[in-house]
Amino acid sequence: MFNSIMPMPSDTDFMQQALALARKANDRGEVPVGAVLVRGQIVIGEGANCSIHDHDPTAHAEIVALRDAAKRVGDYRLNDSTLYVTLEPCIMCASALVHARVSRVVFGAWDLKAGGAGSIVDIFAIPALNHRVDVFGGVRAEECGSLLSEFFRARRS
Q: How far apart are CA 4 and CA 101, in angstroms?
A: 35
- So which residues are the catalytic ones? 62
Residue 95's φ and ψ, nearest 5 degrees, are -65, -40
Q: For residue 41, what are the contacts with CB-CB under 8 A and spacing of at least 6? A: 8, 9
CB atoms within 10 A of CB 100: 25
> In what order do the strands lie in the sheet containing 134-137?
42-48, 34-39, 81-87, 104-109, 134-137
Residue 66: half-sphere exposure toward Cβ, Cα within 13 Å: 25
Which stretches of 74-140 are DSSP H helices?
91-99
